[in-house]
Amino acid sequence: MIRRLYLRRAMGDLRQNPGVTIALMTVLALSAFLLSSGAMVMERLAGSVGQMFSVAKPPHFLQMHTGEYDREALDSFAAERSDIDSWVVQEMLGNDGQLVSWTKQADGSQGDLSESQIDNLFVTQNPNFDFLLNADDDSIPTPAAGEVFIPVAVAQQFELSIGDTLTVQTDEKEESFRVAGAVRDAQMASSMSSATRFLISDKDFDHLLAAGGASPEIMVEYRLTDGADLASFQRAYESDSALPKNGQAVTGVMIRIINMLSDGLVAIAFAFAAFLLIVIALLNARFVIRGSLEDEIHEIGAMRAIGLPPRTIARLYLSQYAVITLVACLLGGALSTIAISGFTASIRANFSEAPVTAVTILVPLAALAAMFFIVIGICARTLRQVARADVVGALIHGISSAGKRAEREARRGAKRVSRSLFSRARPSGIGARLVLRDLRAERRDWAILPLVFFLVAILVTIPLNLLTTFESPRFVTYLGAPDRDLRVDINFVEDGDAVSANIRSTLEQDSRVTAVYPYAGMLYEIQGEEGWEVFRVEVGDYTDTSLAFATGHAPGEGEIALSTLNAEKYGLRPGDSLTVKEEESERTVTVSGVYQDVTSGGYTAKLQGNVGEHADRWTIYADLASGTDPQEIAREYQEQYQDAAVLAMQSYLSQTLSYIIGSLRAVALITLAFGIGTAALITVLFLRLRLTKDRTKVGVLTTLGFSAREIIAQFRAKALLLVAVGTVLGTLFAATLGEQIISALLSASGTGIRQLSFIPNPWLSYLGYPALLLATGAVGAIILTRTLRHTNRSEWLR
């Protein structure tokens, strides 16, 4: 009987106030959609990466190397380590993008891979682990002679498909391969990876190696036993001087973090947006409940008078909000189930198709259940004032305990008004005074509007600021590089010193180049926990660097700067001393500063000094004259120097962060659409309820001689003033404390970024978006108040 009463009461109120119900349900449904989508994206991402890792079996530790190496030293090291489960030396052939061209079977169009900055490595399938997987079915492909499996990213970028032709220019002739499919690469799937692998047969690999024109490299890979200490293993490897180290070292933890970074940001952004929308929905639910209680106080008094206990009455009202929340959760969950395919398209393309398990279903259900109980809990807390309702006051005076408080506040406001100088005010200023006095006297009732726009401003501004930060040319300083126009990389090529000197000389003589900054990548050693270990340092002149430092400053003579991860690893900070060793020569330098870097696993260092010889890699930066096109000069130098990778810095940045930028752009658009839609809905809902509540006040103003135009102007002024206050405060919060929130998330991800400073687009962040929110509030106020022109307001006194 009681349950039937609850249901009848809930459905009756829903039918009686459809506008309020729909608006509140829409906000809750959007919250449920984002929360469920975020949970599903994270579950799918973790499942996809986990599934790919379980099949591909990427290494727990790998060491890139170019040049000669001692195979017996590797055998001896492996024999001494009981924590090695299996290991392999994968041979690779690096080819410049200009030497790798493609031809499409469908229309005969042609092109090459020169647009890509990453290394193109031709490999064969590994025998025991670190497999390249077929993009169609996650099988382990073995290409036939004359076939090639290309990386998924290359297939997507150049729209290549099965049957197309890939051609490699060697010293002897062109070697052509038929594209047999695309492969997923567990360790090189991210755009932040410095290389990508093409899978060919053993026979074709031998032909390419013999034909010349490629740069031979190796990758020493290890799979460790369960429970093995990866950090201890890495220290042991790097402390052994006989082992190959002429390249980058990567751990399995780094591989997983980099792979999950871009799509993980989408899930985090969805969860963040859902949290803000849930807060907005709760604020409005609380407002709606309080308004309903005041409107129906006579009914509440009657129910109390006939003996219904307060808890029963509270549950009676709570039932309708339970129905609204339940329907919203079901709608949001259903929509997220439909939309999840689009949100996870890049995950399915780059990683494996995660199997559907019980966790797949439980994760979004748990998120929706948490939202349901949080909303119902807040509503139940608000409804507790039913228990405090005075029966006599409710029946005779129509006043609840909350109404008594409002009445006391109104009396205090009336006293303030009586002491004001309305008698001295000009007629044109009376409306403005009434607006301010009204807002002051009823500030608790009106507070919801600025709070909502405060939260919406945060919701739409932080994703935008994060997107413009990653897109900005200045973001390159977070990649351990200065903000310059041109970048030239010479990595592990034969006679790299001569190639570097030649390019530097040409750049210095080019009238379009205003400054050249050469840096040499050197292998030093540093004292670690288990003896001397490899320490990668970039040596050059940093007196005029644009690199940003989190603490300290650029290195001077006798100084070195460390990346944040290196500083944390060795427990160093600015002012500390550090002993480094090159071959047998040791010297002590002072740590000048700490900078943020996400390249090379985040473990880098910058040493002030003259650029010497025998570097394993070179990086040359250049500033160009005003009006010069960096892209054009990059193409010109790339054609002239095929041993180097020449890129405009903007291209370097966009290619390195392409996955992340694409994900953030989608998030920014989604949050903008949802934020504006939510702001519009809440404005209409709030003003409609507020207008209903202020009927008596509007009637009094009408009898006092205020025209419809003046009453409408007062109402709109209140709304716009509060919308402006909330928007401005939200924008300021996003620009200040928002940075700290994002920095904390990035710091926890282990990417090497500890403090992120937004690089916003001021026209959008501080003008366009606030103006859009103000316009949303203005349109909502205009629509809601138009009806006052044609309403008999004097009847509202009855």
Decide if 367 contacts 39 (C-beta within 8 A). yes
Q: At CB < 8 A and 24+ separation, what contacts does 72-78 make?
A: 73/240, 73/242, 73/243, 74/220, 74/243, 74/244, 77/237, 77/240, 77/242, 77/243
Secondary structure letter of residue 286 according to DSSP:
H
The CA-atom distances, in angstroms, between 247 and each of 244, 291, 335, 492 are: 8, 68, 47, 8
301-355, pLDDT tens digit by residue?
A: 677 677 777 777 777 778 878 888 898 899 999 998 988 888 777 777 777 777 8
Please enumerate in sequence order all residues whose Cβ is within 8 A of that of 427, keeping only pairs 6 or more positions apart, or say none. none
Rg of the chain taking only CA atoms, in angstroms = 33
What residues form DSSP beta bridges with 250? 62
pLDDT of residue 422: 47
Q: List per-block mean pLDDT (blocks of 10 residues) for the chain, which spans 798 residues.
A: 56 63 81 85 83 88 85 91 91 84 86 77 91 86 91 86 90 88 83 80 90 86 89 83 81 74 70 79 74 65 71 76 87 89 78 82 91 86 64 50 50 50 51 63 74 90 88 76 86 76 90 91 79 82 83 90 87 90 84 82 83 78 90 87 82 75 83 87 79 66 64 78 92 86 71 72 91 91 74 54
Measured distance CA(344)–CA(315) in Å, rounded: 41
Nearest to 45 by CA among 269, 336, 259: 259
Please enumerate in sequence order all residues whose Cβ is within 8 A of that of 135, keeping only pairs 6 or more positions apart, or say none. 152, 155, 181, 182, 183, 184, 349
pLDDT of residue 21: 75
| 2-16 and 310-343 helices, crossing angle to 10° | 60
Sign of CA dihedral 712, 717, 722, 724: positive
Q: Centre a 10 Å sphere on the Cβ of residue 258 and count the other Cβ atoms it contains.
A: 23
Amino acid letter at 131? F
Measured distance CA(319)–CA(209) in Å, rounded: 74
Measured distance CA(7)–CA(221) in Å, rounded: 64
3 state SS of 535? strand
**Kind plus residue range of the DSSP H or E element containing 415:** helix 401-419
| 427-441 and 708-735 helices, crossing angle to 10° | 50
In this structure, the dihedral spanned by the alpha carbons of residues 36, 37, 39 and 43, taken in order and rounded to 10 degrees, is 130
In this structure, the dihedral spanned by the alpha carbons of residues 452, 454, 460 and 462, taken in order and rounded to 10 degrees, is -140
Measured distance CA(69)–CA(485) in Å, rounded: 37
The greatest distance separating any two alpha carbons of the chain, rounded to the nearest whole angstrom, comes to 103
Residue 187 Ramachandran class (φ > 0 left, ψ -120 to 50 alpha, else beta): alpha
Measured distance CA(231)–CA(733) in Å, rounded: 40
Tokens at residue 273, please?
């947006």
Residue 58 Ramachandran class (φ > 0 left, ψ -120 to 50 alpha, else beta): beta
The CA-atom distances, in angstroms, between 19 and each of 25, 296, 324, 681, 755 are: 10, 18, 13, 10, 45
pLDDT of residue 402: 47
Q: Centre a 10 Å sphere on the Cβ of residue 451 and count the other Cβ atoms it contains.
A: 21
Secondary structure letter of residue 356 according to DSSP:
P
pLDDT of residue 271: 75
Nearest to 785 by CA among 691, 705, 697, 700: 691
Please enumerate in sequence order all residues whose Cβ is within 8 A of that of 314, keeping only pairs 6 or more positions apart, or say none. 380, 383, 384, 386, 387
Decide if 91 contacts 244 (C-beta within 8 A). no
Residue 138 Ramachandran class (φ > 0 left, ψ -120 to 50 alpha, else beta): left
Amino acid letter at 690? R
Measured distance CA(223)–CA(61) in Å, rounded: 7
Q: Centre a 10 Å sphere on the Cβ of residue 615 and count the other Cβ atoms it contains.
A: 21
pLDDT of residue 341: 82
What residues form DSSP beta bridges with 620? 488, 518
Nearest to 690 by CA among 709, 718, 728: 718
Please enumerate in sequence order all residues whose Cβ is within 8 A of that of 37, keeping only pairs 6 or more positions apart, or say none. 270, 336, 339, 340, 343
Nearest to 30 by CA among 667, 670, 727: 670
3 state SS of 131? coil
What residues form DSSP beta bridges with 183? 134, 151
Measured distance CA(5)–CA(744) in Å, rounded: 49
DSSP string, 708-735: HHHHHHHHHHHHHHHHHHHHHHHHHHHH
Measured distance CA(104)–CA(165) in Å, rounded: 6
SS3 content of the chain, % helix, strand, coil (to 5): 60, 20, 25
Residue 460 Ramachandran class (φ > 0 left, ψ -120 to 50 alpha, else beta): alpha
